[in-house]
Amino acid sequence: MIRPEEIKMSAEETGKWGMVMDQDICTGCQACVVACAMENNITFVGEEDSGYGRSMHWIRIERFWEGEYPEVKMTPNQPMLCQQCGSATCEPVCPAFATVHSQAEQLNLQVYNRCVGTRYCANNCPYQVRSFNWRDYERPEPLSNQFNPDVTVRRRGVMEKCTFCIQRIHKAQDKAKSEGREVVDGEFTTACAQACPASAITFGRVDDPESLVSQLAKKRGHGIKHLEELGTLPNVTYFKGG
Amino acid sequence: MIKRLFDWLRQPLGLIAVGITLLAVFSVAAYGISLTQQAPEQPVQFPHQTHVAFGIQCLYCHPGAAKGPSAGIPAQAKCWACHNQIAKTETSLLLAPLKQAVISGKPLEWVPVAQVPDFVQFNHRAHIAAGQNCENCHGDMSKQNVAENPQVFNMGFCLDCHKQVAGDDHEKLVKLVDCGTCHY
């Protein structure tokens, strides 16, 4: 049991990578969802499996209604992805240590070759952002050429989730190191942030006060971290009604 | 029925039959295991030994190792740059596939020998930049003909070296033994 004062103490420590979502300018166009699927080799499960609730997305656009039909008012669109919690509820329940916390990047990792598919992590995730490979989904010839070689193609029986495009993080770090410098803010971004036509998603270092995410968070004032009261220390901040 | 079979097996002729069967099973198993230890069939029986002896650097034919994740296997154009000046290329039976590939423009289908599984993201550049030499993982090519894999690339092999390189540097160790460094 975590006491509230402990949460407050650890909440002062920030993670490394973080994201800022501006719900006021998000149009809900789903470009991020498509870009994420392309970048991370996420399969299209088809109509039937989708009907069973087995659709696979690492990011989704949530929409809610206020009021009774027909006088409904739509609330701002809410892109929901893995919040890369500092104290993640998915991690301690994994019996195979397949979902572990990266000490180097301060991210929640999913190690596919360790995962045995108990799905315990997905059941314990308060954000419901993990998806499970219920089948091996075939990709016929021309489609198989679109796989991103930097990302593992997952097989059946493996859990997966948003990685904050860790392959892009590593690529940028590798490039910076080969040029003998540090990674510059804005040098790279995640697939969803890159695809967003309204620039509603911003990605960067939250531990650097000069970075764009920190500046945006400061400018917009009070942001919301979803289900923060659970003590998960999410690294994604949402802004609306600014 | 089964009792009669056992009785038959107990007599000298039966014992010989059992012996022959066991020997056959054992030799098939031994042959199967030896097959997994052989280097795959290559389109050209490329002698690494000879090329290294001429003083050709690894990075001349595998330049990707210094630049990016994949070391790369040379296309026939690179081989031809030297080989079209060598008289033996015209007559050698060993080099016939190379000549054929240059004329037809169809690439030689080399079989990669040193491989890691799909769930491992390996980057040659970082290893070369960290001062590792090719032979640390790929073995001494000056003693090999057709490329063979000198060791199993399993996680223990990688981590042993990573831990040794990191030494007492805690920050480096955290980065080098982090799951996310190789698996994503």
Contact yes or no for A152 and B183 at CB 8 A: yes
Chain A residues with CB within 8 Å of chain B CB: 100, 102-105, 107, 109, 111-113, 150-153, 163, 166-167, 170, 174, 177-178
Q: Give pLDDT, residue A138.
A: 86
Q: Give pLDDT, residue A2.
A: 47
Q: Give pLDDT, residue A150.
A: 92
The count of other CB atoms within 10 Å of the CB of residue A80 is: 19
- How far apart, in whole angstroms, are the C-alpha atoms of residue A94 and residue A34? 29
Q: Give pLDDT, residue A1.
A: 43
Q: Is the pLDDT of residue A14 over 90?
A: no
Interface test with B, best of A106, A115, A136, A166 (most B CBs within 10 A): A166
- How far apart, in whole angstroms, are the C-alpha atoms of residue B28 and residue A215? 69
Q: Give pLDDT, residue A8.
A: 43
Q: Convert the pLDDT of each residue in A166-188 to its tens digit.
A: 999 999 999 999 999 999 999 99
Answer yes or no: is the ipTM higher than 0.95.
Answer: no
Q: Give pLDDT, residue A9.
A: 41
A99, with CB counted inside 10 A (0-12, 13-18, 19+), is buried
User: Which residues 153-182 on chain B approach chain A with CB closer than 8 angstroms?
Assistant: 174-175, 178-181
Confidence grade of residue A7 (pLDDT, cut at 50, 70, 90) = very low
Residues of chain B with Cβ-Cβ distance to A109 below 8 Å are: 179-180, 183-184
Contact yes or no for B180 and A109 at CB 8 A: yes
One-letter amino acid at B29 equals A
CA-nearest residue to B181 within chain A is: A170
Task: Say yes or no: B93 contacts chain A, CB-CB below 8 A.
Answer: no
Nearest residue, CB atoms, A107 vs list B125, B175, B180 = B180
Six-digit token string for A115: 């995962």
- Residues A112, A117, A122, CA angle at the centre, nearest 5°? 95
Six-digit token string for B174: 């955290």
- How far apart, in whole angstroms, are the C-alpha atoms of residue A14 and residue A25? 26
DSSP strand pairing (A99-101 vs A108-110): antiparallel
Residues of chain B with Cβ-Cβ distance to A94 below 8 Å are: none
3-state secondary structure (DSSP) of residue A141: helix
- How far apart, in whole angstroms, are the C-alpha atoms of residue B181 and residue A43? 24
- How far apart, in whole angstroms, are the C-alpha atoms of residue B170 and residue B184? 23
Q: Is the pLDDT of residue A201 over 90?
A: yes
Q: Is the pLDDT of residue A4 over 50?
A: no
Q: Is the pLDDT of residue A236 over 90?
A: yes
Quickly list DSSP for B13-56: HHHHHHHHHHHHHHHHHHHHHHHHTSPPP-SS---HHHHHHTT-
A36, with CB counted inside 10 A (0-12, 13-18, 19+), is buried
Q: Give pLDDT, residue A221.
A: 81
CA of A111, closest CA in chain B: separation in Å? 6
Q: Convert the pLDDT of each residue in A15-33 to its tens digit.
A: 899 999 999 999 999 999 9
Q: Is the pLDDT of residue B94 over 80?
A: yes
Break chain B into its structural domains and give their ranges.
2-36
Interface test with B, best of A94, A173, A174 (most B CBs within 10 A): A174
What chain A holds in terms of domains, given with CATH numbers, is 4-239 (3.30.70.20)
Q: Convert the pLDDT of each residue in A96-129 to its tens digit.
A: 999 999 988 999 999 999 999 999 999 999 999 9
CA of B43, closest CA in chain A: separation in Å? 25
Q: Give pLDDT, residue A15.
A: 81
Q: Is the pLDDT of residue A3 over 70?
A: no
Quickly list DSSP for A20-42: EEETTT-----HHHHHHHHHTT-
